[in-house]
Amino acid sequence: MARYPRLMPTAPQLFTATVVRAERVSPTFQRVTIAGPELARFEWHGLDHWFRLFLPPGNAPLHLPKVSGRSWYRSYLLIPGSERPHCSNYTVAGFRHTGDGGELDIDVVLHWHEGELGGTVAAWAVNAEVGSPVGFLDQGVMFDPPEDAAEVVIACDETGLPGVRGILRDLDASTTGTALLEVPTAADAAEVAAPAGVSVTWLPRNDAHAVPGRLALAALERIAPQPDAYAFVVGESGLATGGRRALKKAGLSPSRITFSGFWKA
Ligand SMILES: Cc1cc2nc3c(=O)[nH]c(=O)nc-3n(C[C@H](O)[C@H](O)[C@H](O)COP(=O)(O)OP(=O)(O)OC[C@H]3O[C@@H](n4cnc5c(N)ncnc54)[C@H](O)[C@@H]3O)c2cc1C
């Protein structure tokens, strides 16, 4: 398999930008585009490149932590509560250099609890005002197949979809394998660019009460990976940990599995 960069930066860069657009791209995803001159120096590595998003509370000014090497959290906690930005992890869904900087797309999952939109970032995404400030801290990519990986086995829920979409788009054209993409509704399943040898299966839940990740986990449990496959399993915590367990049971070495719980149901 082609080599992919392992790019958790040793000195992550902090950026500020403002919202320039927001649009609903499917029933579950709200795409927020941020832009600004500082994005001229952002180096997009494609794949599942992710970052820590900082949103100021209410109308407070954006107060960002000081970053020193990979340390930022202590400084973040020292920001007074009324000014401390909300922080969550998100993926670069798209990036373009522009004449005066750059534009970065964030595909935010909208999730509802008893009819109410849940989560600070989902609420921000649907109400995002043009010109409102955000910050983000580059965290690099997680997708890290060993050089000898014979195939990929990928599974995600909707929160992992922006990253998995990027991985499928950027995989070497000769890659083979399987991608299991669970989404809330069939209308969230859109065309993905992927190598011809990777079979892509959409798994729409179509049930507002179903626990996210269970469909993808059940499908993953039916897969028999080659011993030299590389697996990437991200999304709801039960999918990530259950997926790792199932793949280990199927004979895949833990060193060939990247798994990450993106949120907890
Ligand atoms: C590396 C990485 C990349 C990520 N990329 C993306 C991305 O591109 N797009 C994206 O939408 N998410 C992404 N996530 C997941 C996202 O960080 C979480 O969903 C996060 O909890 C949302 O932040 P919040 O502050 O709005 O909600 P929180 O304040 O953390 O959570 C509020 C409540 O909502 C619940 N909740 C959170 N997410 C969901 C969900 N999806 N469905 C149902 N209930 C939920 C929580 O359990 C909690 O009860 C990523 C996570 C990681 C680790």
Residue 30 CA to its chain's centroid (Å): 14
Where are the chain's structural domains? 14-140, 152-263
The residue count of the chain comes to 265
CB 183 within 8 A of CB 158: yes
Q: Specify the pTM.
A: 0.96
For ligand 1, say whether the CB of 256 is within 6 Å of any of its atoms: no
Per-residue pLDDT at 247 exceeds 80: yes
Which residue owns the Cα nearest ligand 1 atom 7? 90
CB 88 within 8 A of CB 109: no
Per-residue pLDDT at 4 exceeds 90: no
CA gap 108, 166 in Å, rounded: 15
CA gap 68, 198 in Å, rounded: 40
Residue of 89, 188, 207, 264 to mutate, ligand 1, most atoms within 8 A of C-beta: 89
pLDDT in tens, 9-52: 888 999 999 999 999 999 999 999 999 999 999 999 999 999 99
CATH entry, 152-263, from 3.40.605.10, 3.30.1360.40, 3.40.50.80, 2.60.120.10: 3.40.50.80
CATH no. for 14-140 = 2.40.30.10
Predicted pLDDT at 143: 96
